[in-house]
């Protein structure tokens, strides 16, 4: 899943924002979420908790795409 914020002014730096995402009806085999920043070519730390078939994730978002990979 790609996450990003659309910025109206691309000439100014965009401060990272945190969003809470809850995903439901996940298969039992999905146990973790890893965000990947393809622009910086690195994984981004996040907070994720799984309870039953739901996963709550606090995702750091910027104005360039970051990919949220579920494993």
pLDDT tens, 3-57?
988 877 878 878 889 999 999 999 999 989 999 999 999 999 989 999 999 999 9
How much is the pTM? 0.78
pLDDT at 7: 78
pLDDT at 30: 92
- Contact yes or no for 8/63 (Cβ under 8 A): no
- C-alpha triplet 11, 14, 15: angle, nearest 5°: 155
So where are the chain's domains?
18-70
């Amino acid at each position: 899943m790609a996450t990003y914020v659309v910025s109206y002014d691309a000439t100014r730096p965009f401060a990272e924002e945190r969003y809470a995402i809850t995903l439901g009806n996940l298969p039992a085999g999905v146990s973790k979420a890893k965000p990947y920043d393809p622009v910086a070519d690195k994984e981004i730390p996040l907070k994720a908790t799984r309870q039953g078939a739901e996963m709550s994730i606090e995702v750091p978002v910027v104005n360039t795409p970051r990919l949220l990979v579920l494993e």
